[in-house]
Amino acid sequence: MSRLLIIGCGGVAGVAIAKCCQRSDVFTEICIASRTKSKCDAVKEKLQGTTSTVITTAQVNADSKEELVALINSYKPQAVLNLALPYQDLTIMDACLETKVDYIDTANYEPEDTGEPVWRKEYEKRCKEKGFTAYFDYSYQWAYDKKFKDAGITALLGTGFDPGVTSVFTAYAKKHYFDEIHYVDILDCNGGDHGYPFATNFNPEINLREVSANGSYWENGHWVETKPMEIKREFDFAQVGKKDMYLLHHEEIESLAKNYPEIKRIRFFMTFGQSYLTHMNCLENVGMLSTEPVMYEGKEIVPIQFLKALLPDPASLGPRTVGKTNIGCIFTGIKDGKEKSIYIYNVCDHQECYKEVGSQAVSYTTGVPAMIGASLVLQGIWKKPGVYNVEEFDPDPYMDALNKYGLPWVVDENPALVE
Ligand code: NDP
């Protein structure tokens, strides 16, 4: 019998929960706990009767360690799957430590208030020392390693698609195709169309912060930083076609650079249409992406949070989104003294996802790997005391599960390369 506590009940959680319910053999009981309990109850209502997984729900403020500890102590799960926002990573890890329960997430820590003086000072020091200016980095969560080891519990970081599947693709490429990997290009293409002039495919605040920030890539042991959208390439994606893609900073670059010091360069590209970029630039220019509170008619509002209230809810894009995503990695390295390249990728169809679980492919491609990571921890297959990124475990059971549970992958042994 296993019991999983899932925190958060948004787009990604909706898929992960539906997928857990398809695997009642592993997930015998789940509790969905979030800020807004009515959303958890609605998901439970939809799924119970279709599954033998026993579903309960709870209200929790995941910014409060005390509330989390009380919930964990009363529900007594074996693991907590954090599908709230990156802002809650540390309080949830603290609660897991106190209750000695395994921890799993899909995104690394980022503070909600990037103007907070203590955090800001630390951040500015890190920018100078490390050479990239993204608000998120792994240092906060990696710092829990000893505490998790001492407590005898596992933290599995970043089991979404990117990070997550892209990192497992790297471990798989290294295990089965290369003696040494020298170059990695991670390509994230969303060829879907939702019909709105502007909407984000996942949480708008997290998405717009990421995309409007400086880009960076890892080369020869250090970070090279670029202006936002400075590096553009065109790529012909299987089952999608030619798309413009732009270099972004992305969190798996940091962990892959640490775990594979042999890699000379790691870049991350994401596709964007011109309409998306024009809207984003305009919103940024007028200050709507700011996280600094402003006073409006006697009330403090945070511009990006106000914008979130105006934009379509990502969870509502499912029925209207058509087209496919194609996400994967091109690896170049050495096998038996010869240079070679391979491309491992998955293609996912928005409407197929909607038919299966009622969500578009961006939530689907994150929710399925979240379920897989949680299942491997719960089954003890990926379990050792400490804090780990997904590429630090054996990739084979994860790759098998991707094929089985909705994200089949392809290996192209003669790929086009990115200039
Ligand atoms: P959503 O905004 O759709 O959902 C977030 C959920 O967390 C909501 O249910 C929200 O509650 C809840 N929540 C927020 N704050 C709190 C809090 N203080 N206490 C309790 N619950 C809270 O986000 P997504 O589903 O799109 O994303 C979920 C996570 O997945 C994010 O961390 C995101 O960065 C990550 N992600 C990872 C990807 C990857 O490939 N690795 C790709 C896409 C996303 P409420 O309903 O009340 O607002």
pTM: 0.95
For residues 343 and 297, what is the distance between their CA atoms, to the nearest angstrom? 54
Test site for ligand 1: of 34, 61, 113, most ligand atoms within 8 A of the Cβ: 34
pLDDT for 262: 97
Q: How many CA atoms lie less than 13 Å away from 363 in the CB half-sphere? A: 34
Q: Is the peptide bond before 369 cis (omega within 30 degrees of 0)?
A: no
**Atom 4 (ligand 1) nearest CA:** 10
pLDDT for 316: 86
For residues 280 and 277, what is the distance between their CA atoms, to the nearest angstrom? 5
Q: Supply the DSSP symbol for 416.
A: P
Find the angle CA(241)-CA(247)-CA(248) to the nearest 5 degrees: 120
Find the angle CA(231)-CA(236)-CA(239) to the nearest 5 degrees: 135
pLDDT for 291: 84
Decide: residue 296, CB within 10 A, 0-12 exposed, 13-18 middle, 19+ buried.
exposed
Query: Is domain 165-357 annotated with CATH 3.30.360.10?
Result: yes
> Does ligand 1 have an atom closer than 6 angstroms to the CB of 88?
yes
**Atom 11 (ligand 1) nearest CA:** 35
> Does ligand 1 have an atom closer than 6 angstroms to the CB of 161?
yes
Residue extents of the structural domains in the chain: 165-357
For residues 89 and 82, what is the distance between their CA atoms, to the nearest angstrom? 7
| Dihedral angle computed from the Cα positions of residues 116, 117, 119 and 123, in that order, rounded to the nearest 10 degrees | 110
DSSP 318-353: GGG-BSEEEEEEEEEEEETTEEEEEEEEEEEEHHHH
pLDDT along the chain (419 residues), means of 10: 95 96 97 98 96 98 98 98 97 98 97 90 93 92 98 98 98 98 97 92 83 93 95 97 96 97 98 91 93 93 93 89 97 98 98 95 96 98 98 98 98 97
For residues 165 and 156, what is the distance between their CA atoms, to the nearest angstrom? 13
> Does ligand 1 have an atom closer than 6 angstroms to the CB of 369?
no
13 alpha carbon to ligand 1 midpoint, in Å? 8
For residues 192 and 194, what is the distance between their CA atoms, to the nearest angstrom? 7
3-state secondary structure of 245: strand
pLDDT for 113: 86
Atom of ligand 1 nearest to the CA of 158: 41
Question: Strand 409-412 relative to strand 3-7: parallel, antiparallel, unpaired?
Answer: unpaired
